[in-house]
Structure 1
Amino acid sequence: MTTRVLVVEDDPDVALALRVLLTRAGYEVLAADNGRDGLKRLFADRPALMILDVGLPELNGWEVLERTRDMTDLPVLLLTARGAERDRVRGLRAGADDYLPKPFGNEELLARVEALLRRSSPARWSGQYLDEALRLVPERRAAVWQGHEVRLSAIEFRLLQVLVRNRGRVVTVEQLLARVWDDPDGVGRDRVKFAVLRLRRKLAEAAGADAEDPLEAVRGLGYRYRAPE
């Protein structure tokens, strides 16, 4: 079955270039030129990945991303203006899995699409982790924390999985980029910080604000999972 990719882009030249590039690479391309139609295509056709432009009519990219994250955890590649660091930070904080500044190279875009699809495959998650407070459930891409099930995105699940497999040990930002984002060169370090923040928020919302935070930031190094005593 051909992998479906939804492109939500209002610039006709960019949209055409993406369609040709992705089609030649073997993907089935779905397209929308505004945010409202993008959401309709998203929920009607259930693609495997969405490429989302920030500046869209009807609903902008931020609104589309927010509504998407309320309903699904499919990978989202955000297209931003070159040099717009604020947009990239905002996108990562809102739940985008990766970003790519315009104009972009064809090979880089395809590599990022392939990496996102590879990371989101259920076959990539195997085994469970269990202690008195936490259980990972790979088949549902979820964690049971303090007795409450928490649904996670692909990135959040992989992040938690890497941390708990190294419980008590610091996992550096560089190691997390390599193991969770397939980014051994360490590009985009803010991705780690904002993914940890989203993961912490989900765990706290599930178990209550008074529950222990198991994710410890180690200044200048990285993060570690502390199994409850």
Structure 2
Amino acid sequence: MSPRVPSPVTRATPVTVLVVEDDPDVRLVLTVLFERQGWTVLTSPDGRSALRTLLERNPDVLVLDIGLPELDGWQVLERVRDMTDLPVLMLTAHGHETDRVRGLRAGADDYLTKPFSNNELVARIEALLRRVPTHRREEGAYDDGVLRMDPATRTAEWRGTALDLSLLQFRLLHTLARARGTVLTVPQLLERVWDDPTGQGAERVKFAVLRLRKALLAVDPGADALEAVRGLGYRYRGDRHEGSGPG
């Protein structure tokens, strides 16, 4: 007997799920499963069409298979993370720990191995959706003479050069910068940036900081502005170049 399908989840706004899976039978199973939850389901058989659909339809969550033609799941995930912090659950036929670690490092929010339980898949997606903020208070602009950020226009500059940041990277840097010099713990960052008060998923913070540091170094190889404080968390310490920053 197949696993019981969970009852539909009631939400204020409809959920849109983008399923990227090259196997038509699996796509059909997932479509039926998600539609029974009352969700709108978009499907793509390959990575290129998935990226087009993502840009055109702006789904709430992405269910992404790794083994795709042309662009594989890893390549799709990399491009998705360049554009958005959309929740991503990856599906794979392999349960190797190296794949799970690779997925987390690349920016996946969750990982599930085939074959999977319908109940578990729906529950994991619901957990990802609960972490997505339904509204967010706009914080003020930040300017320390080196880093300038404006949430109203979602723009950021380092020494006058525009930073190419995803939405998640922008929120992370803005949160750290406004607490300049103060160590923010992993649970604090999960709550403030990811809206995840349960404090689960510390690896996400680690890899997000690594990607953010890489984005800063791309515009200034000497931009050593982020510090990992062992056993505590992370802090923004501003530009470390002599004579920079506010007096």
User: 2: distance between equivalents of 1:156 and 1:51?
Assistant: 21
TM-score normalized with structure 1 length = 0.80
The AA in structure 2 aligned to 1:145 is W
Once the two structures are TM-superposed, the CA of residue 191 in structure 1 deviates from its matched residue by 0.9
Once the two structures are TM-superposed, the CA of residue 110 in structure 1 deviates from its matched residue by 1.9
TM-score normalized with structure 2 length = 0.75
Look up the match of 2:5.
Answer: none
Counterpart of 2:227 (choices 210, 216, 224) is 216
User: 1: distance between equivalents of 2:61 and 2:164?
Assistant: 18
Q: Which runs of 5+ in 2 are unaligned?
A: 1-12, 240-244
Look up the match of 2:188.
Answer: 175
Once the two structures are TM-superposed, the CA of residue 12 in structure 1 deviates from its matched residue by 4.6
Look up the match of 1:135.
Answer: 148
Aligned partners of 1:170 and 1:223 also within 8 Å:
yes
User: 2: distance between equivalents of 1:209 and 1:189?
Assistant: 27
Residues 153, 147 of structure 1: CA spacing in aligned structure 2 closer, same or farther, 3 A cutoff? Answer: same
Look up the match of 1:226.
Answer: 237
- Larger-Rg structure: 2
Look up the match of 1:193.
Answer: 206
Look up the match of 1:88.
Answer: 100
User: 2: distance between equivalents of 1:106 and 1:2?
Assistant: 15
User: 2: distance between equivalents of 1:179 and 1:40?
Assistant: 30
The AA in structure 2 aligned to 1:77 is V
Q: Which runs of 5+ in 1 are unaligned?
A: none
User: 1: distance between equivalents of 2:25 and 2:137?
Assistant: 35
213-222 or 149-158: bigger deviation: 149-158
| Partner deviation per Cα, 1:60-80 (whole Å, 9 max, x = no partner) | 10122233345x225140314
Aligned partners of 1:143 and 1:150 also within 8 Å:
yes
Written as runs of structure 1 = structure 2, the 5 A alignment for 1:10-159 is: 10-12=22-24, 14-70=26-82, 72-73=83-84, 75-81=86-92, 83-96=95-108, 98-102=109-113, 103=116, 104-116=120-132, 118=133, 123-159=136-172
Residues 128, 185 of structure 1: CA spacing in aligned structure 2 closer, same or farther, 3 A cutoff? Answer: same
The AA in structure 2 aligned to 1:160 is L
The AA in structure 2 aligned to 1:173 is V
Identity, in percent, stands at 50
CA-atom RMSD in angstroms: 2.8
The AA in structure 2 aligned to 1:209 is P
Aligned partners of 1:93 and 1:198 also within 8 Å:
no
Once the two structures are TM-superposed, the CA of residue 8 in structure 1 deviates from its matched residue by 0.5
Once the two structures are TM-superposed, the CA of residue 2 in structure 1 deviates from its matched residue by 5.7
The AA in structure 1 aligned to 2:127 is A
Secondary structure (helix, strand or coil) at the match of 2:131 reads helix
User: 1: distance between equivalents of 2:38 and 2:176?
Assistant: 35
Residues 63, 189 of structure 1: CA spacing in aligned structure 2 closer, same or farther, 3 A cutoff? Answer: same
Once the two structures are TM-superposed, the CA of residue 106 in structure 1 deviates from its matched residue by 1.6
User: 2: distance between equivalents of 1:142 and 1:129?
Assistant: 11
Once the two structures are TM-superposed, the CA of residue 125 in structure 1 deviates from its matched residue by 4.1
124-133 or 165-174: bigger deviation: 124-133
User: 2: distance between equivalents of 1:14 and 1:45?
Assistant: 22
User: 2: distance between equivalents of 1:186 and 1:84?
Assistant: 25
Aligned partners of 1:141 and 1:153 also within 8 Å:
no
Residues 110, 124 of structure 1: CA spacing in aligned structure 2 closer, same or farther, 3 A cutoff? Answer: farther
